Amino acid sequence: MQFFVGCPVWACKGWVGNFYPEETKPSDYLREYSRRLTTIEGNTTFYAVPGPKTLEHWLSETPASFRFCPKIPKSISHEGTLAPRVDASLEFISAMRALGERLGPIFLQLPPRYSPTFADDLRLFLDAWPRDCQLAVEVRHLDWFDAPHNSELNRLLSAHGMARVVIDTRPIRSLEGDKILSGTVYQTLLEARRQKPAVPAVQERTADFMFVRYIGHPQMAINAPLLKEWAGHIAAQLRGGSDAYVFCHCPETLAAPFLCRQLHAEVRRLVDVPPLPWEDAGRKRVEQGRLL
């Protein structure tokens, strides 16, 4: 069992001076990111497939223990049915295999319009997916969460050894911290509420790994009980031999890495997992400071 935790992006200028060291250059963001967290939800591949040189650069900047979880391009997932785009998905897989051991589960996010009426289309797509390549599937149409479609989807994913993505938007739907948020942060929170799906945080595991997207609240205190809840669930899955990939988002981007750190600390209290490289990076900076 392995526990990976990360954010949806590594290129965030606002992280310089808090998450990243002072004066970190954009060309060094990925290297600094991978010295602190252990996986990335690869949203960049949703918009464009990286070329071989870019993938080589990603490999050179990250340790062997790091995992990329690339999102299937929107030209495949958001342009109609999936079955006619099987060949394009296989080409995408072939490109991503250049990441070697650093390739984690690939992430298929389906649009809200993709309802259970497309179940046969989804089945055809999954049938064509290579069994040696992990896939995590996120559905957003509310009918997928009702009987009988909920259990039918779980059975379909289980039969293919694929994970059902859990997206937890409960934190941003909390009204508790609204009155104390600043104008800009409050507006980003409202926008996140509008954009993120208000779906149940279904926790059924359908594969030998779990894939969670936690949409955190800008006020860290509001996240505390939910992070403890998730830590208990993750720890139980890890004890059962499952791998866990968890990605912390936040309307206030500055908070996202610290949500990862807090969640990891909560999990470590319950089960024996390695410390984040972040902790080691901090220790080395302290030791270097003492030497200087």
* C-beta separation of 33 from 63 below 8 A: no
Tokens 């499952």 sit at which residue? 242
What is the tally of structural domains in the chain?
A: 1
Q: What is the mean pLDDT of each run of 10 residues along the chain (292 residues)?
A: 96 96 96 98 94 97 98 97 98 98 98 98 98 97 97 97 97 80 84 90 92 95 96 97 97 95 98 92 45 36
How far apart CA 104 and CA 3 sit, in angstroms, is: 12
> How much is the pLDDT for 187?
87
Look at the chain and count its residues.
292
Report if residue 288 sits inside a domain.
Answer: no
User: Which residue type is seen at 178?
Assistant: D
Residue 20's beta-bridge partner residues?
16
* C-beta separation of 150 from 120 below 8 A: no
Report if residue 135 sits inside a domain.
Answer: yes
> How much is the pLDDT for 281?
65
Report if residue 220 sits inside a domain.
Answer: yes
> How much is the pLDDT for 182?
75
At 60, give phi and psi (nearest 5°): -70, -20
Report if residue 175 sits inside a domain.
Answer: yes
Q: In which domain, by residue range, is 107 found?
A: 3-282
CB atoms within 10 A of CB 47: 10
> What is the percentage of the chain residues whose pLDDT exceeds 70?
95
Report if residue 65 sits inside a domain.
Answer: yes
> What helix, strand, coil percent values describe the chain, rounded to 5?
50, 15, 35
**CATH number of the domain encompassing residue 195:** 3.20.20.410
> How much is the pLDDT for 190?
86
CB atoms within 10 A of CB 102: 20
Report if residue 292 sits inside a domain.
Answer: no
Tokens 């149409």 sit at which residue? 141
> How much is the pLDDT for 135?
98
In 3-state terms, what secondary structure has residue 5? Answer: strand
H helices within the chain, ranges in order?
29-34, 44-47, 52-61, 74-77, 86-96, 119-128, 149-160, 183-195, 220-239, 256-268, 277-291
pTM exceeds 0.85: yes
How far apart CA 277 and CA 283 sit, in angstroms, is: 10
> How much is the pLDDT for 282?
55
Report if residue 119 sits inside a domain.
Answer: yes
